[in-house]
Amino acid sequence: MISYKSQRLQPRVRFAPSPTGPLHVGGLRTALFNYLFAKKNGGDFILRIEDTDKKREVKGAEKYIIDSLNWCGISPDERPGDKTKYSPYKQSKRGDVYEAFISELLAGGKAYYAFDSEDELKALRGNHEKKGETFVYNWANRNSLKNSLSMSKKEVQKKIGNGDKYVVRFLSPEKGEVTTLDLIRGKSTIDSKILDDKVLLKADGTPTYHFANVVDDHAMGITHVIRGEEWLPSLALHCLLYDAFGWDLPVFAHLPLILNPNGKGKLSKRSGEKGGFPVFPINWNENESFDGFREAGILPKALVNYLATLGWSPKEGSEIICGLELIEMFQIEKVVKAPANFDFERLKWFNHKYLQQTDNAKLAKILIELKPDSSEMDEEKLIKAIGLVKDRADTINELWGLCKYLFFEPTNYNENNLKKVNKEGLNKIVAEVLEKSLSDDIQGGLVSHMKEWGGAKNIAAGQIMMTLRMILVGDLSGIGIQDIINFVGLKSVAERTKNFKDSVI
Ligand code: GLU
């Protein structure tokens, strides 16, 4: 009978990524939900690096995971490098733990040595395939294969003594049902007959994911396993392993998938490339290079807030929830089964809101890091410019595009819009703007002067405003015209007017 760990007041949860590449948005959401759950319940959030599969390990991936979590403010309470009663937190450093526990399973007859070579197994698979069947190493055939169940103790000792290669397999039960419980998906039952005898220890002496994962969750006192839906098929085996050791089960919660924006397939880097959006938190520059949300000008708080809504929704009416409020509101029981479609436009909507709340000096600092040419501007002026344009920006990168004309005089003019201002009277408007901007003496501002002047000359105000905009911005966009003039100063207005005159009239 499977028993569950009593729901302790202080949960211990873990994020257990394998360093096989940059951390994907799905992994980040898993880390976030673990973090929120732990903080909500006064518990601990642990980072464990599952690096037993050295063949799949990618250089730089572990650092990337840590940097990404730091950027998002998802800070582990225990992590690789810490010395606690549970350390080390990297599976490659926990060989002795696995050795002790594999011996326990072998001694208790819950696991067995298997000496079948790769070639022999390949041949068996091939033979089954020819008959349209699938080869499964389990109760149905294990007594006739090369293992410690079919051999005498002496034979087994001899083989091991000779240094023959072997793996250790789990003895999955021949009969009975395995009932698993998931906080999000409820109960499900499978016939143990269909399970295979999974390898727990590989021929090179390293543990497989299943074994190391279960052993470590137990050894590290993990109370709740919150992870992606892709691990659901492993749940029955994991429960059987707990049972084989006689350990209480943690509570399991498998989070729904994050799909591509069109709802087809798991969110992939390729669909991000096609749709022009990132799927990783920060830039990656190892075996290949790509930008992350940070480089796309997304604020970490906005990303965290958006990710929290993928699979879970806060109570109606509250969307912008950050920091402590998010922790306060989060309820793992309210996570849904249905997959969530990734929606970059919605993330940008969140980002827009967060941009408005963020201090302009802080935005300037982030902008300078992202767009080094903005660092050449006077910082005070940059901060002021950001304040003027930010209500139009969804991303930090857009901020720069939106305020560039406040620092640089336009060198070309939007041709289509130019046609709209290139009408009778243009010469006169430009001449008046030039004269006044050079005169340094316009009471009440250049814009109201020009409107008055236009009224007297019978030139439409619209025509004047459009011309001023073309002169100042090079296009019919931008913030209020008088705001632009105040920002750039009359000297620059005169300069811009001369440039306009030289290239347009
Ligand atoms: N190492 C696994 C991964 O990369 C961990 C899965 C789990 O959380 O159990 O996702």
pTM score, two decimals?
A: 0.93
pLDDT at residue 150, rounded to an integer: 97
CA of 279 to the centre of ligand 1 (A): 19
Report, at the CATH architecture level, how domain 1-80+212-357 is classified.
3-Layer(aba) Sandwich (3.40)
Candidate of 12, 15, 18, 234 to mutate for ligand 1, largest count of ligand atoms within 8 Å of Cβ: 18
Residue 322 pLDDT > 60: yes
CB 299 within 8 Å of CB 396: yes
Determine the atom of ligand 1 nearest the C-alpha atom of 27. 10
Are 1-80+212-357 and 95-201 in the same CATH fold?
A: no
Tens-place pLDDT, residues 57-77: 999 999 999 999 999 999 999
Candidates 40, 202, 269, 420; catalytic one: 269
Please state the domain extents for the chain.
1-80+212-357, 95-201, 360-407, 409-505
- Name the band, by pLDDT with cuts 50, 70 and 90, for residue 4: very low
CA of 312 to the centre of ligand 1 (A): 21
Determine the atom of ligand 1 nearest the C-alpha atom of 217. 9
Determine the atom of ligand 1 nearest the C-alpha atom of 30. 8
Candidate of 20, 49, 91, 213 to mutate for ligand 1, largest count of ligand atoms within 8 Å of Cβ: 213
- Name the band, by pLDDT with cuts 50, 70 and 90, for residue 30: very high
- Name the band, by pLDDT with cuts 50, 70 and 90, for residue 440: low
Ligand 1 contact via 17 beta carbon (within 6 Å): yes
DSSP string of 289-358, one letter each residue = EE--TTTTT--HHHHHHHHHTSS--PSTT-----THHHHHH--GGG--SS-EE--HHHHHHHHHHHHHHS
Does 55 qualify as catalytic in the annotation? no
102-109: long-range pairs with CB below 8 Å, 24+:
102/168, 102/200, 102/201, 102/207, 102/211, 104/245, 105/168, 105/170, 105/200, 105/244, 105/245, 106/168, 108/244, 109/171
CA of 231 to the centre of ligand 1 (A): 7
Nearest CA to ligand 1 atom 6: 16
Residue 317 pLDDT > 90: no
The pair of three-digit structure tokens given for residue 442, joined into one six-digit string:
């316009």
Nearest CA to ligand 1 atom 5: 16
Ligand 1 contact via 227 beta carbon (within 6 Å): yes
Tens-place pLDDT, residues 366-409: 999 999 888 899 999 999 999 999 999 999 999 999 999 999 99
Ligand 1 contact via 231 beta carbon (within 6 Å): yes
CA of 18 to the centre of ligand 1 (A): 7
The pair of three-digit structure tokens given for residue 69, joined into one six-digit string:
């979590």
CA of 23 to the centre of ligand 1 (A): 12
pLDDT at residue 315, rounded to an integer: 76
pLDDT at residue 9, rounded to an integer: 60
pLDDT at residue 169, rounded to an integer: 98
- Name the band, by pLDDT with cuts 50, 70 and 90, for residue 320: confident
Residue 2 pLDDT > 50: no
Rounded to an integer, what distance in angstroms lies between the CA atom of residue 131 and that of residue 133? Answer: 5
Ligand 1 contact via 18 beta carbon (within 6 Å): yes
Task: Assess if CATH 1.10.10.350 describes domain 409-505.
Answer: yes
pLDDT at residue 3, rounded to an integer: 42
Backbone angles phi, psi at 156, to 5 degrees: -60, -50
Rounded to an integer, what distance in angstroms lies between the CA atom of residue 207 and that of residue 55? Answer: 13
Determine the atom of ligand 1 nearest the C-alpha atom of 50. 1
Mean pLDDT of 221-233: 97
Tens-place pLDDT, residues 44-55: 999 999 999 999
Mean pLDDT of 131-136: 96
CA of 460 to the centre of ligand 1 (A): 67
Region class of 481: left (phi > 0), else alpha (psi between -120 and 50), else beta: alpha
Mean pLDDT of 252-276: 95
pLDDT at residue 297, rounded to an integer: 97
Residue 429 CA to its chain's centroid (Å): 53
Q: To which CATH superfamily is domain 95-201 assigned?
A: Glutamyl-tRNA Synthetase; Domain 3 (3.90.800.10)
